């Protein structure tokens, strides 16, 4: 033990010495007061006069109390005299992923698209990367930071789906901007070494070579993952494809030679996208190598960790406390508290277990009920109503029905009705709701549920009647078919005999009728000829013309009247339709208002959710506005207008 290295983690606990001194002083004062009573009163009577005998307290117990208290206070202060030096093995490796969001990444020479395949590869890299810091950059005409260096890769994975070319404020292809942005992020995080990964389908050449070389000189390796094929594909844009100034369709192809040169100058690796994970595994190995090199350099760093020796002081104090408790003269509650307090600083104790020490079964069950653990809460609840609610939530309706006893309030009967409705006992459930309404007329939930069950009951009764009627009709049809078959067989012979007689009588009648008809036709022909000749003589040409003109005028007037009537009918229909529409709109408004009044809070929340679902949700708009704001406020010079936009 070297006292030169003595330290206290919590020295403010020494203020408790003041309370300890006050405690010992009061106990000692009581002994002095007892001794004064001995001068006045007989020693045999003192036990009956005083609360505690004077012999129970002496100076030795006060000394033991002082020593035990000082030891416990010292333990609370966190004493120690040892310092262990541990190596600081912290993985501080850094990786910055730069994703190309130019329009050419929408080409579909690899399915479903270059951009989707690039996102899949980034997801695989992040899932394999369990240590170190990772950042994500997107670029086209400019580079922008999506996430800075962080150890939580889940945040990056959450942002990947919404990254599309339309969020970029300016189009183009400038990987050198992404490399410069990655270097800035690594410097801001004080990272001496790191990796930069370009996930792209095109590199420009000299400019990118210089940017990769500068990154390598500063200790950062630049690798390239090519997305696409050498054959290429057209670039989709607004339902068509992008064309150049000559009107020719642009075919976006990868340039492996330039990409290899950039990766070589950056000291990293170049890989074309593979269908398997060989490219991801190779890049991950490169990142792990840099991790190991950084770990070797940090092994030399040591961190001092102090060792606390407080528990030894607690054990020493127990010897003195045992002597004090032997005669049960001191305030053991206060000393027991001092014993418990040091163990409150243990780091391995769980908060939930500590809290449960101060909770009863119903409170613990209520916490589990709120978290959705209904089955566990049913075992812990002792309060009947809460237990019934937990069983109802867990689906144990029969047990919940058995627990529904001592029904006094409207809510009790309402809950019983819900349980019975779940069990399919509609009549009993309706009766329970009626009792709930009698006890509380304003119980709208009970009224609403009762109406629903009554409607269901009516539907069931109708269905039963329809089934019975169908069965009766089927039986009647079967009986009728049997009766017809029996009658038909008996009446065949009688019908054949009657047919022969009827045919003979008809032949005689037909002959008589033919002879009489011929005579009548000849007489009528002679009469028609005479009438036609007389009419032709009477009718003159002028009368015929007048009649024709009158008929024309009459027809014209009739047509006009019909048209006017049609117009008036149309106007009346339009007026009626407009009135009906207004009435319907007013009725719908009134119905909606009435429903809103009657609706429960849960139904209102669901209606709000349905309304919110109609609003188009586009989380990429946030990034689009942010990047546009950064682009407008950037001090960089604008690009040439003739630059390609894919």
Three-state SS for 198?
strand
In tens, the pLDDT along 174-227 reads 999 999 999 999 999 888 889 999 999 998 878 889 999 999 999 999 999 999
Predicted confidence (pLDDT) per residue in 440-492, tens digit: 888 888 888 888 888 888 887 877 777 666 666 666 665 555 554 444 444 44
| 103: its two tokens | 């329009």
Provide the CB-side half-sphere exposure for 638 (13 A, CA): 7
pLDDT score of 418: 85
* pLDDT band of 41, cuts 50, 70, 90: low
Q: Does residue 276 lie within any of the structural domains?
A: yes
Question: Token pair 């009970």 is at which residue?
Answer: 446
202 and 326 in a single domain? The answer is: no
Residue 268 pLDDT greater than 80, yes or no: yes
Quick one: pLDDT band at residue 594, thresholds 50, 70, 90?
Answer: low
Are 149 and 175 members of one domain?
yes
Question: Which of 94, 88, 70 has its CA nearest to residue 149?
Answer: 94
C-beta neighbour count of 197 within 10 angstroms: 26
358 pLDDT exceeds 60? no
**Cα separation, 410 vs 408, whole angstroms:** 7
The more confident residue out of 179 and 303 is: 179
CA distance 212 to 645: 24
- Which range has the worst mean pLDDT, 263-267, 341-345, 544-548? 341-345
**In angstroms, rounded to a whole number, what is the distance separating the alpha carbons of residues 487 and 231?**
88
Q: Does one domain contain both 276 and 395? A: no
pLDDT computed for residue 262 by the predictor: 93
In degrees and rounded to multiples of 5, residue 435 shows phi and psi of -65, -35
* Pair of tokens at residue 309: 């020796």
CB-hemisphere CA count at 13 Å for 555? 6
Looking at residue 417, which CATH number applies to its domain? 1.25.40.10
Mean pLDDT to the nearest integer, 155-173: 91
Which whole number is the average pLDDT over 570-590?
78
Percent of the chain with pLDDT over 90: 16
Residue 274: the pLDDT is 87
- Which of residues 458, 491, 515 is at a domain's end? 458
Distance CA 260, CA 311 (A): 64
Q: Is the pLDDT of residue 526 over 70?
A: no
* Residue-level pLDDT at 612: 57
- The predicted pLDDT at position 89 comes to 42
Mean pLDDT of 46-64: 60
pLDDT of amino acid 498: 47
Q: Return the pLDDT at 579.
A: 77
Range of the domain at 54: 3-83+309-345
End of a domain among 411, 429, 458?
458
Q: Are residues 325 and 429 in the same domain?
A: no
Checking if the pLDDT of 79 tops 70, the result is yes
Co-location of 79 and 101 in the same domain: no
3-state helix/strand/coil string of 295-339: HHHHCCCEEEEEECCHHHHHHHHHHHHHHHHHCCCCCHHHHHHHH
Tell me: pLDDT of 553 over 60. yes
Sign of CA dihedral 439, 440, 443, 448: positive
User: Is 509 a domain residue?
Assistant: no
For the ranges 68-82, 368-382, 435-449, 621-635, which has the lowest average pLDDT? 368-382
- Per DSSP, the three-state class of 82 is strand
Q: Is residue 520 part of a domain?
A: no
pLDDT for the residue numbered 476: 61
Residue with tokens 């006017």: 564
CATH code assigned at 286: 3.40.50.410
- Same structural domain for residues 126 and 60? no
How many Cα neighbours within 13 Å face the side chain of 503?
6
Dihedral over Cα of 463, 466, 468, 470: its sign: negative
Sign of CA dihedral 446, 447, 448, 450: positive
Question: Of 51-65, 72-86, 377-391, 448-462, which range is least confident?
Answer: 51-65
Helix, strand or coil, per DSSP, at residue 330: coil
| 65 and 187 share one domain | no
Residues 182 and 276 in one domain: yes
**Reading across the β-sheet that carries 194-200, which strands appear in turn?**
143-150, 133-139, 94-100, 194-200, 220-226, 267-272
Residue 464: inside a domain: no
Given this model, what pLDDT does residue 495 score?
47
Q: What is the pLDDT averaged over residues 508-525?
A: 50
Mean pLDDT of all residues in 275-282: 87
d(C-alpha 359, C-alpha 355), whole Å? 7
Whether residues 70 and 103 fall in one domain: no
Domain end, chosen from 458, 475, 505, is at 458
Question: What DSSP assignment string belongs to 518-541?
Answer: HHHHHHHHHHHHHHHHHHHHH--H
C-alpha distance from residue 143 to each of 88, 148, 186, 195 (Å): 35, 13, 15, 17
Q: pLDDT tier at 315 (50, 70, 90 boundaries)?
A: confident
**From 132-141, 165-174, 275-284, 570-579, the region with the lowest mean pLDDT:** 570-579
The total number of structural domains in the chain stands at 3
Count of CB atoms situated within 10 Å of the CB of 260: 17
Where b means 16+ CB within 10 Å and e means fewer, 462-474 reads: eeeeeeeeeeeee
Residues 64 and 31 in one domain: yes
C-alpha to C-alpha distance for 299 and 88, rounded to whole angstroms = 6
Same domain, 36 and 57: yes
Residue 264 domain-assigned? yes
Residue 549 located in a structural domain = no
CB atoms within 10 A of CB 489: 8
With respect to residue 352, please indicate whether it lies within any of the assigned structural domains.
no
Under the banding of pLDDT at 50, 70 and 90, the label for residue 333 is very low
- For residues 332 and 272, state if they share a domain: no
Q: How far apart are CA 506 and CA 140, in angstroms?
A: 104
In a domain, 133, yes or no: yes
């Amino acid at each position: 033990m070297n006292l030169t290295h003595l330290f206290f983690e919590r020295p403010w606990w020494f203020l408790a010495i003041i309370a300890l001194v006050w405690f010992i002083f009061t106990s000692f004062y009581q002994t002095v007061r007892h001794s004064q009573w001995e001068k006045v009163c007989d020693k045999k009577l003192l036990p009956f006069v005083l609360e505690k005998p004077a012999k129970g307290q002496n100076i030795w117990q006060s000394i033991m109390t002082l020593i035990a208290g000082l030891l416990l206070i010292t333990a609370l202060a966190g004493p120690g005299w040892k310092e262990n030096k541990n190596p600081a093995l912290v993985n501080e490796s850094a990786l910055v992923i730069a994703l190309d969001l130019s329009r050419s990444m929408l080409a579909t020479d690899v399915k479903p698209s270059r951009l989707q395949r690039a996102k899949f590869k980034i997801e695989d890299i992040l899932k394999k990367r369990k240590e170190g810091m990772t950042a994500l950059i997107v670029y086209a005409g400019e580079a922008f930071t999506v996430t800075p260096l962080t150890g939580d890769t889940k945040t990056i994975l959450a942002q990947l789906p919404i990254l599309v070319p339309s969020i970029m404020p300016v189009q183009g292809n400038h990987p050198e901007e992404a490399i410069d942005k990655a270097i800035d992020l690594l410097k801001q995080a004080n990272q001496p070494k790191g990796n930069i990964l370009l996930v792209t389908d095109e590199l420009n050449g000299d400019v990118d070579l210089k940017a990769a070389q500068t990154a390598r000189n500063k200790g950062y390796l630049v690798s390239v993952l090519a997305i696409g094929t050498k054959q290429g594909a057209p670039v989709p844009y607004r339902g068509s494809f992008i064309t150049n100034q000559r009107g020719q369709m642009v075919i976006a192809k990868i340039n492996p030679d330039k990409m290899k040169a950039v990766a070589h100058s950056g000291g990293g690796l170049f890989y074309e996208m593979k269908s398997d994970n060989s490219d991801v595994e190779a890049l991950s190995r490169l990142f792990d190598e840099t991790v190991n090199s950084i770990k070797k350099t940090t092994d030399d760093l040591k961190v001092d960790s102090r060792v606390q020796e407080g528990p030894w002081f607690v054990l020493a104090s127990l010897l003195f406390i045992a002597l004090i408790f032997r005669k049960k003269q001191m305030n053991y509650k206060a000393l027991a508290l001092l014993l418990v307090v040091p163990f409150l600083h243990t780091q391995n104790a769980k908060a939930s277990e500590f809290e449960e020490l101060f909770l009863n079964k119903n409170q613990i069950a209520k916490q589990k009920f709120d978290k959705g653990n209904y089955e566990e809460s049913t075992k812990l609840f002792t309060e009947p109503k809460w237990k019934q609610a937990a069983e109802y939530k867990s689906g144990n309706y029969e047990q919940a029905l058995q627990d529904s006893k001592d029904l006094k309030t409207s809510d009790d009967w309402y809950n019983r009705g819900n349980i019975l409705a779940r069990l399919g006992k509609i009549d009993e459930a309706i009766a329970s709701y009626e009792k709930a309404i009698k006890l509380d007329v304003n119980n709208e939930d009970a009224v609403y549920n009762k109406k629903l069950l009554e409607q269901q009951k009516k539907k069931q009764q109708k269905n039963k009647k329809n089934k019975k009627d169908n069965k009766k009709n089927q039986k009647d049809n079967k009986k009728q078919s049997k009766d017809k078959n029996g009658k038909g067989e008996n009446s065949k012979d009688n019908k054949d005999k009657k047919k022969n007689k009827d045919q003979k009588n008809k032949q005689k009648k037909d002959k008589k009728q033919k002879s009489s008809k011929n005579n009548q036709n000849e007489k009528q022909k002679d009469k028609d000829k005479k009438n036609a000749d007389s009419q032709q003589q009477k009718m003159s040409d002028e009368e015929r013309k007048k009649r024709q003109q009158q008929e024309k005028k009459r027809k014209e007037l009739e047509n006009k009247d019909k048209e006017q009537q049609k117009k008036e009918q149309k106007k009346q229909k339009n007026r009626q339709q407009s009135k009906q529409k207004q009435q319907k709109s007013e009725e719908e408004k009134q119905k909606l208002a009435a429903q809103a009044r009657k609706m429960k809070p849960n139904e209102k929340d669901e209606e709000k959710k349905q309304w919110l679902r109609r609003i188009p949700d586009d989380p990429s708009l946030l990034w689009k506005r942010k990047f546009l704001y950064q682009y407008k406020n950037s001090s960089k010079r604008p690009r040439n207008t003739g630059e390609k936009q894919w």
